[in-house]
Amino acid sequence: MNLEGKVVIITGATGAIGQAAARAFDREGARLVLASRRIEVLHELAGGLKEAFVLPVDMGDEGQARDLVRKAVEKFGRVDILIHNAAAIIIDRSESVTRDDLMQAFRVNLTGPVAATQEALLQMKKQGGGQIINIGSPGFMMGIPFYAPYACSKAAFSAWTRTLQAELGDARITVSEYFPGYIKTDSRAESRLGTVEQDFLMAKKQNFLSKWFTAPKTPEKVAKDLVRLAGKPRPLAYSGSLVKLGAFLSNIPFFRLKIARQMARNAELKLQNQPPGSL
């Protein structure tokens, strides 16, 4: 697909991946609709792009999610690609996770994107085609310790994506799922355990298998993958061969538990050895 002039919506556009994706699609000549709750950062990002329409949107609000697509159509007359990148990440022990934590994650990671997708499908059917790209997480298969709301909601999001792929099998609308694996960014999750760094689950000294599968990728690498996926749609893409292999090995309890339990031990050691709020 030639992306010149294509209308591309990116949610979570002010995060590291969102900003990298915006710049990558801008270089390809796409017309961008950038959505995030942080409007000041959106304007700053758009200032360095050729053609970008910014909208303050909380993807946890289904009404705002639908309006995002409607306003994009009002602005540009169509929607060619909808990229669901926004995500809510809440860190806590599974035994302490609350209903509100789960609902927050499900609103941002599932019900908001579903609402936006349904609105986009109406337009894409009218215009004769389009593409949905859902950024998922292979972590739900691994069972990422301390990330239960995120993992549960991403599992549901993956189920939604694959159900949609089946139902749209004969349409000119393609639905793609992208698994990025561990991406190194400066963003912080919402933690119930005090301030935690992004590498909360990692350790310099850990078994080879765990270190191998948790090697981080960059937002720029993800952005290139998304552009490539938009140009050549396919049902499932990974950020690398290790992520693909890790997803496969997650179906084997021995490997899954070896990796996940190592991450849990890393986190517990940091919780025990660091003063509150300093992780």
Token pair 């290790």: residue: 242
150 carries an active-site annotation? yes
Beta carbons of 12 and 42 less than 8 angstroms apart: no
Structure-block tokens of residue 192: 């119930």
pTM: 0.92
pLDDT at 240: 86
DSSP 8-state assignment for residue 194: S
- What domain range includes position 49? 7-199+215-240
Indicate the helix (H) or strand (E) that contains 132: strand 130-135
174 in a domain, yes or no?
yes
Phi, psi of 173 (to 5 degrees): -105, 125
Contacts of 87 (CB under 8 A, 6+ apart): 12, 108, 109, 135, 150, 154
CA distance 175 to 169: 9
Which of 150, 178, 182, 238 does the annotation list as catalytic? Answer: 150
Strand partners, 175: 132
pLDDT by residue, tens only, the chain of 279 residues: 789 999 999 999 999 999 999 999 999 999 999 999 999 999 999 999 999 999 999 999 999 999 999 999 999 999 999 999 999 999 999 999 999 999 999 999 999 999 999 999 999 999 999 999 999 998 899 899 999 999 999 999 999 999 999 999 887 999 999 999 888 776 668 888 887 877 788 877 766 555 555 666 789 999 999 999 999 999 999 998 888 888 888 899 998 998 899 989 988 988 887 655 444
How many domains does the chain contain in total? 1
Structure-block tokens of residue 261: 């339990």
147 in a domain, yes or no?
yes
52 in a domain, yes or no?
yes
Burial class (CB in 10 A: 0-12, 13-18, 19+), 235: exposed
CATH number of the CATH domain containing 136: 3.40.50.720
Q: How many CB atoms lie within 10 A of CB 72?
A: 26
11 in a domain, yes or no?
yes
pLDDT at 191: 86
pLDDT at 206: 64
pLDDT at 279: 45
Structure-block tokens of residue 38: 């942080």
277 in a domain, yes or no?
no
Coil, helix or strand for 90?
strand
DSSP string, 102-131: HHHHHIIIIIHHHHHHHHHHHHHHHHT-EE
The amino acid that residue 271 corresponds to is: L
269 in a domain, yes or no?
no
